[in-house]
Structure 1
Amino acid sequence: MKKITKTLVTTLAFYLSFSGVAQARSITSISPPTGPGQGDVLCTQVQTPVNTPFPNNDNSTAASQNQILNFPGLSCTPKTFQAIAPIDTQLFVEPSGGTTEYFFTETAVNNTNSTWNGFNFKIGLGVNDNFGPPELILVPTGTVIPDFDFNGSSSDPQPTSSKFTQLLQDGSFNIEWSGGSVAPGESVDFTFSVDVGDNLNANNSSGSFTIRELPIAESIPEPAFTSGFLALLGVLGSSLALKHKNKMNQG
C-alpha cells in the first residue's frame, strides 16, 4: 500500500524519527459540511459520531473495515450542491496507536444549472477560506496528514462512482473523477477509502482534517453558426429600422 509517511518536496515536511513513539489517529466525529457550494442551504449543526470497531486496521479486508456510510452523516445528507463551488467537511481525530483505514460511501446531488463532467476530492486542513492543501501549508514536524488509499494491496477496496468511469490520482491527497456526466437534478454515488496514519513523537497537533469536494462543470462553447446568425439578425434589424426611419422622414 502507498504509505502516507512520504516526504513531499514542498513546504510540508514529514520527519521520520526512529527514536520516537509512533501515534496514529482514528476518526471520532464529523462536523456539518460548509462552503459556498451549498448556496443558501442551512445544514443542521450537529456532530456525527464515528464508530471505529477496528482501529489500526491498515491493509484491511472487507470483514475488518471501519465504515462511514452516507458521508457526511447526520447533517446535510445527501450532499447537495447549489453552485459550482467547494463544500468542506471536517473530521476530528484522536490517537489510537496505528494506521486506521476507513471506507466511505456518499451521494452528491447536482442542484445547479450546469452539467458536471467531473468531480474532485481533496484532503487538507481548515475549511472555507482557511482551507489549505498539505503541499501549501506548514505543519509541525512529525505531523502526518490522512490520505486517500487506493492502488494499494489487493485487499483494499478501490474507489467507485456510479456516473464516472475514469479516476486520476493527481499527486497525494487528491483524486479526480471524469469520463461521465451528471445532469442538473441527477445524483452520483461515490465510495473511497482514507488512511488516518501515524503521527510521530506522540505529536497530535493536528486534531482534524478536511475533505473538500468540488464538482467540475461542463463548459459548452457557443457554436460559431449561432453567434454569426445572431449577429446577422442584428444587422438586418438595424437596416430595417433605418429604412423605416428614412421613410417616415420623407413622408
Structure 2
Amino acid sequence: MKKISKTLVTTLAFYLCFGGAAQARSITSISPPTGPGQGDIFCTQVQTPVNTPFPNNNNSTAASQNQILNFPGLSCTPKTFQAIAPIDTQLFVEPSGGTTEYFFTETAVNNTNSTWNGFSFKIGFGVNDNFGPPELILVPYGFAIPDFDFNGSSSDPQPTSSKFTQLLQDGSFNLQWSGGSVAPGESVDFTFSVDAPDDLDGNDFSSSFTIRELPSAKPVPEPTTINGVLIILGILSSRLALKHKMKVAITEQR
C-alpha cells in the first residue's frame, strides 16, 4: 500500500484541528498543474480565478451549472502530457453553506511516443510525492470531501470522452476511461462534474483538493525484442527457401 508522506499527514492534521466552522465549500481558484507527466514543460505560476454564480446548486440543471471550462485555465491549457506519468492540479475552496456542483471541460494532448489506451482522473490531497487518495486517508465522522458526481441523476450531466467509450465507476473519487485510443499528436476531450459537499456538524475538512490525471498505454516492445523476432523470421524464411531449392533439385535429377 502506498504510504502518505509526513508532509501530507501534517497538512491534513492542520486542516482537521484548525478548520473553520463552515458547513460547505465552493471552488475559488485553480493552481497551475504540476507533475512528471509534463516533462520539461514550464507552466507559468498564474492562479485561475473561479466564478461561482450558483453556490449550493447540488443536482442542478444545465441552466444553473457552475462551469469550469478549459480546465485548468490560464496556465498550461490544454493539458499536454510528454510522459506516461501523473499531472496534478490543485483547486482551492472556501465555505459556501451548502453542496456546490461544478461542470468541467478539458482537453488533454498526447505528446508522448505511445498510443494511449486509457485515461484516469482521481481526487485526492497534495501534489506529486505528497499526493494521497481519499481511500488512504482516515476521515473522521462529520467530515466530507469533494467527489466526482456521476450518480445517475437525470439532472446531473454524466462524464463524457471524445475518444474513449467505456467508463469504470470506481467509487466516487475515480474516473477510469478505456475502450479507445489516442495516438501521439492527437488530443482527447473530457467533461465531468465535481461536488464540493457539505460537512456534517459544522466541520471544514480542507482548504484545497487535487485532481490527478494519468494516461495509460500499452508497453512498446524493446528494440532487442523486435530484433529477435526479425532474426527468427529470417531463419524460418531461409529454411523454407533451402527446402524449396532442394525439392527443385531432386525433381530435376529425376
- Give me the TM-score of the superposition, normalised by structure 1: 0.80
Query: Could you tell me which amino acid in structure 1 is paired with residue 231 of structure 2?
Result: L
- Cα offset, 1:145, TM superposition: 1.2
With over 3 angstroms needed to count, the CA separation of the structure-2 counterparts of 1:23 and 1:233, relative to structure 1, is same
Q: In 2 relative to 1, CA 66–227 (structure 1 residues): closer, same or farther, beyond 3 Å?
A: same
1 or 2, which has the higher helix percentage? 2
Q: Does the alignment pair 1:66 with 2:63?
A: no
Confirm or deny that 1:230 pairs with 2:231: yes
Match for residue 174 of structure 1?
174
Partner of 2:48: 48
Go from structure 1 to structure 2 and tell me whether the alpha carbon gap of 1:221 and 1:63 turns closer, same or farther (over 3 Å shift). same
For 2:53 and 2:233, how far apart are their aligned partners in 1? 69
Instruction: Give the 5 Å matches for 1:88-99.
Output: 88-99=88-99
CA drift of 1:189 comes to: 0.3
The 8 Å contact of residues 162 and 190 in structure 1, kept in 2 or not, is answered as: yes
| Structure-2 separation of matches of 1:147 and 1:214 | 17
Q: Structure 1 vs Structure 2: percent identity of aligned residues?
A: 85
- Whole-angstrom CA distance in 2 between matches of 1:199 and 1:55: 15
Q: Give the letter aligned to residue 212 of structure 2.
A: R
Inter-CA distance 77–225: structure 2 relative to 1 (3 Å threshold):
closer
Counterpart of 1:195?
A: 195
Contact 1:22 1:201 (C-alpha < 8 Å) held by counterparts: no
Q: Could you tell me how far apart the structure 2 residues matched to 1:206 and 1:139 are? A: 11
Partner of 2:129, secondary structure, is: helix
After TM superposition, the structure 1 = structure 2 runs for residues 22-171 of structure 1, keeping only pairs within 5 Å, are 23-139=23-139, 141-171=141-171
Aligned residue pairs: how many?
Answer: 215
- SS of the equivalent of 1:152 reads coil
After TM superposition, give the deviation of residue 24 of structure 1 in Å: 1.0
Could you say what secondary structure the match of 1:201 adopts? Answer: helix
Distance 2:60 2:226 in 1: 56
8 Å CA contact 2:123–2:211 kept in 1: the answer is yes
2:22–2:96 Cα contact (<8 Å) kept: no
1:3-60 CA distances to partner (integer Å, 9 max, x unpaired)? xxxxxxxxxxxxxxxxxx8701100000000000000111010100000000000010
Decide whether the 8 Å contact of 2:22 with 2:95 is kept in 1: no
